[in-house]
Structure 1
Amino acid sequence: MKKGGGGGRGGAAPAAVMVALAAAVILAVAARLADGAVTCADVDSNLKPCIGYLTGKEAAPPGECCAGVKRLRTLPASTAERRQACECVKQAATRYQGLNADAVRDLPNKCGSPLPFPISLDFDCSSIP
């Protein structure tokens, strides 16, 4: 009886290991896709708290703004992703009136988190390496 029970468990254990391994692979791929794909929604949500500072209504970027800049720093991993994030920043800038170009340019340094691409209202994103 122990042999039959052990054999059944022995068959179940490799199957459970395979299911767990498959789940781990799927999670790893999903995490990479989520981390690797920069969207304008990501950029917008991370920079929206900065609008008060960028329009001169606040003297310094608030903590929530700098947290967004730091998150934005980790999003783009490849040249294409950095270029996409740069284009998203430029698109976002067109939706807000009265942005201070100096505040836009200096934002990453003010937050202590330089980005892997410059923030500028007129930067050529295709030149990002």
Structure 2
Amino acid sequence: MDSRVVLSVIVVLAVVQFFAQPGYAVTCGEVDVALLPCIGYLRGSGADPTPACCDGVKAVKGMGQTPADKKACCNCVKAAANRYPDLKDAAAQSLPAKCGVQLDIPISRSVDCDKYV
């Protein structure tokens, strides 16, 4: 099976599971799965993010509904960004706009997530 199909299925399952459990706290695993298709773009290997990547960005936006969820998403995104030393800051900053999504949290290694409480 094509890896893009597998990743898309994982993203969809993560989003479905999130919405099926009201009151369920956001986990870094969910955020990581959602943003996994974006790694290539964030490392500079593409001019535009893939549709699967943009679906993941939209999923992360949907996860951050409460202030606590937004802070959790922010911390997870920050931790994920710090795992990739070759992440391009300009690509990370442009990702939401390229996907047509307005995130309440930045994709950054140095963001102060306490601002999103």
Q: TM-score range by the shorter chain?
A: 0.7 to 0.9
Given that residues 79 and 109 in structure 2 are in contact (C-alpha distance below 8 angstroms), is that contact kept between their aligned partners in structure 1?
A: no
In structure 2, what is the Cα distance between the partners aligned to 1:97 and 1:58? 17
- The answer as to 2:60 corresponding to 1:76 is no
TM-score of the two chains, using structure 1 as the length reference:
0.71
Give the deviation of 1:121 after TM superposition.
Answer: 1.8
Higher helix proportion: 1
Give the deviation of 1:48 after TM superposition.
Answer: 0.6
* Superimposed CA distance per residue, residues 15-44 of structure 1 (whole angstroms, 9 cap, x where no aligned partner): xxxxxxxxxxxxxxx63134xx11000110
- Tell me the number of residue pairs that the alignment of Structure 1 and Structure 2 aligns: 98
The equivalent residue for 1:46 is 34
In terms of Rg, which structure is larger?
A: 1
Question: Percent same amino acid among aligned pairs?
Answer: 45
TM-score of the two chains, using structure 2 as the length reference:
0.78
- The answer as to 2:76 corresponding to 1:94 is no
The equivalent residue for 2:98 is 110
Gaps of 5+ in 2: 1-19
Give the deviation of 1:97 after TM superposition.
Answer: 2.5
Give the deviation of 1:57 after TM superposition.
Answer: 1.0
The equivalent residue for 1:31 is 21
In structure 2, what is the Cα distance between the partners aligned to 1:59 and 1:105? 14
In structure 2, what is the Cα distance between the partners aligned to 1:120 and 1:114? 15
